[in-house]
């Protein structure tokens, strides 16, 4: 959703993409303007509320700017598109898009088809349901189909339906070496693939797949600027990855992966709420509290959720200390969706704890690493 704000006779336009309950500013533009009513613009719509001349220009600006990296075109080398994909357990992310890691397969066309992908004679609703945590992502076709949807979303921003693709993806830090070859083979099982998504037909050529470590990718763009000892904590939906950096260099022997993502917090809240109230609570309410710190619910219910979340965050820091974290001598960089929990339920020093707030940072990092690697290879 995009919001238009009027201030001091100027139209201050900011485009935000709402993902996982967080807002990320993509672009900001000041437009001289005398008077305007609030405008909302939704992806896929070319109509804005309000009838001003400035308003009529906004959809085109939004469509071109908000779905791209602050105006930059998709990374391309030798006519091949590099598309970074973060295959999260809670959300799939690309450089520009984020959608739930949910998928439901049908043998016939379902009633609701807004997010339908058709591949290999089967119908898939993308974003429906919740995919359970599985350390091995190649056990079924779900992540492959979700990958196709992610690619289609990126290509749509460039008005493309056919392209040569290099997929840049990642795996948890300590699982990368053991699963890299299998995950690459899984994503490359079709060198050429055709499917339809949201009633558009796509024809892809998968030229290569590059696999990189999670956590590091999110800070790769500024890693060399880091001084002293830094700890990277990538807190995702299913896992927490931690990596030590010394003067911008990753420490191979100091990286850890644990099944301690934000979904474990959701499960803990759900269980505690049932024990204390004998009632069930919807995960959407839990997520709202974890992301924003509050919700429009009874104070007693809110207190239960917040207390469990606070204990979960304390446990995060206990685990970090077990791995050698010292908040007096190190700077902690928190990436991934779990950053909002640390912000909302932990007292920290702003000088010592930093947040990579872009939920798509890892996907962008994969693209950055793939582009650098491919350019280096081209130079020989």
Residue 150 lies in a domain: yes
Residue 51 lies in a domain: yes
User: 176-187 and 142-157 are packed helices; what angle lies between their axes, rounded to 10 degrees?
Assistant: 70
Burial class from Cβ neighbours inside 10 Å (0-12, 13-18, 19+) for residue 218 reads: buried
CATH number of the domain that residue 146 is part of: 3.30.420.40
CA 233 to CA 255: how far, in whole Å? 10
Cβ proximity of 35 and 11 under 8 Å = no
- Do 45 and 87 lie in a common domain? no
Q: Report the number of distinct structural domains present in the chain.
A: 3
Residue 71 lies in a domain: no
Q: Quick one: pLDDT band at residue 134, thresholds 50, 70, 90?
A: confident
- Do 374 and 313 lie in a common domain? no
Q: Is the model's pLDDT at 175 over the cut of 90? A: no
Residue 70 lies in a domain: no
Q: Is the model's pLDDT at 343 over the cut of 70? A: yes
Residue 38: closest CA among 58, 63, 23, 64: 58
Q: What is the pLDDT of residues 12-39, one digit of tens each?
A: 333 333 343 333 333 333 333 333 333 3
DSSP letters for 198-228: TTEEEEEEEEEEEEEETTHHHHGGGGGG--S
- Do 228 and 343 lie in a common domain? yes
User: 283-292 and 262-277 are packed helices; what angle lies between their axes, rounded to 10 degrees?
Assistant: 120
- Do 161 and 228 lie in a common domain? no
The pLDDT value recorded for residue 72 is 54
The pLDDT value recorded for residue 129 is 81
Residues belonging to the chain = 380
Q: Quick one: pLDDT band at residue 328, thresholds 50, 70, 90?
A: very high
The pLDDT value recorded for residue 208 is 97
- Do 57 and 85 lie in a common domain? no
Q: Is the model's pLDDT at 63 over the cut of 50? A: no
CA 214 to CA 235: how far, in whole Å? 10
Q: Quick one: pLDDT band at residue 65, thresholds 50, 70, 90?
A: very low
- Do 265 and 195 lie in a common domain? no
- Do 56 and 144 lie in a common domain? no
Instruction: Match 């920290």 to its residue by tokens.
Output: 348
- Do 168 and 95 lie in a common domain? yes
Question: What is the domain range of residue 136?
Answer: 76-213+363-379
DSSP letters for 338-360: THHHHHHH----TTTEEE---TT
Q: What is the pLDDT of residues 211-227, one digit of tens each?
A: 999 889 999 999 999 99
Residue 357 lies in a domain: no
The pLDDT value recorded for residue 66 is 45
Task: State which of 12, 33, 65 marks the end of a domain.
Answer: 65
Cβ proximity of 206 and 165 under 8 Å = yes
- Do 95 and 204 lie in a common domain? yes
The pLDDT value recorded for residue 136 is 77
The pLDDT value recorded for residue 40 is 34
Range scoring the smallest mean pLDDT among 252-256, 304-308, 325-329, 371-375: 252-256
CA 226 to CA 351: how far, in whole Å? 14
Start-to-end C-alpha separation, the chain: 45
- Do 156 and 84 lie in a common domain? yes
Task: State which of 65, 87, 118 marks the end of a domain.
Answer: 65
Mean pLDDT rounded to a whole number for the chain: 83
- Do 12 and 111 lie in a common domain? no
Structure token pair of residue 296: 């429009």
Q: Quick one: pLDDT band at residue 174, thresholds 50, 70, 90?
A: confident
- Do 202 and 253 lie in a common domain? no
Residue 53 lies in a domain: yes
Q: Is the model's pLDDT at 154 over the cut of 90? A: yes
Residue 98: closest CA among 336, 294, 342, 265: 336
pLDDT higher for 180 or 47?
A: 180
Residue 88 lies in a domain: yes
Range scoring the smallest mean pLDDT among 51-55, 135-139, 188-192, 212-216: 51-55
Q: SS3 of 246, please? A: strand
Cβ proximity of 179 and 171 under 8 Å = yes
CA 231 to CA 237: how far, in whole Å? 19
Q: Quick one: pLDDT band at residue 264, thresholds 50, 70, 90?
A: very high
Dihedral angle computed from the Cα positions of residues 22, 27, 31 and 37, in that order, rounded to the nearest 10 degrees = -20
CA 167 to CA 150: how far, in whole Å? 11
Q: What is the pTM of this model?
A: 0.80
CB atoms within 10 A of CB 188: 13
Residue 358 lies in a domain: no
């Amino acid at each position: 959703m995009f919001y238009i704000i009027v201030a001091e006779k100027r139209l201050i336009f900011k485009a935000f993409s709402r993902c996982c309950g967080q807002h990320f500013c993509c672009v900001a533009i000041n437009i001289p303007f005398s008077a305007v009513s609030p405008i909302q613009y939704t992806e896929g719509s070319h109509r804005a509320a309000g009838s001003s001349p400035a308003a009529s220009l906004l959809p085109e600006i939004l469509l071109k700017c908000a779905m791209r990296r602050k105006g930059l075109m998709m990374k391309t080398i030798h006519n091949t598109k590099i598309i970074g994909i973060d295959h999260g357990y809670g959300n799939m992310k690309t450089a520009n898009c984020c959608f739930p890691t949910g998928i439901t397969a049908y043998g016939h066309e379902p009633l609701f088809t807004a997010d339908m992908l058709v591949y290999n004679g089967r119908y898939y609703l993308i974003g429906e349901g919740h995919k359970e945590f599985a350390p091995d992502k190649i056990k079924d076709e779900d992540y492959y189909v979700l990958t196709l949807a992610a690619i289609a979303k990126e290509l749509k921003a460039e008005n493309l339906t056919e392209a040569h693709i290099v997929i840049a993806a990642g795996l948890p830090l300590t699982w990368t070496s053991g699963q890299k070859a299998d995950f690459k083979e899984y994503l490359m099982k079709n060198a050429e693939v055709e499917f339809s998504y949201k009633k558009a037909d796509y024809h892809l050529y998968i030229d290569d797949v590059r696999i990189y470590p999670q956590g590091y990718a999110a800070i790769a763009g500024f890693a060399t600027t880091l001084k002293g000892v830094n700890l990277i904590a990538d807190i995702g939906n299913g896992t927490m990855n931690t990596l030590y950096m010394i003067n911008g260099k990753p420490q191979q022997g100091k990286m850890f992966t644990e099944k301690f993502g934000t979904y474990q917090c959701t499960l803990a809240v759900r269980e505690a709420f049932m024990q204390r109230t004998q009632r069930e609570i919807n995960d959407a309410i839990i997520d709202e509290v974890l992301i924003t710190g509050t919700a429009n619910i009874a104070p007693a219910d809110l207190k239960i959720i917040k207390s469990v979340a606070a204990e979960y965050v304390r446990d995060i820091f206990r685990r970090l200390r077990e791995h050698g974290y010292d908040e007096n001598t190190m700077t902690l960089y928190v990436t991934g969706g779990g950053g909002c929990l640390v912000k909302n339920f932990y007292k920290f020093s702003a000088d010592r704890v930093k947040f990579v707030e872009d939920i798509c940072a890892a996907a962008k990092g994969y693209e950055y690493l793939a582009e650098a690697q491919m350019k280096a290879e081209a130079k020989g």
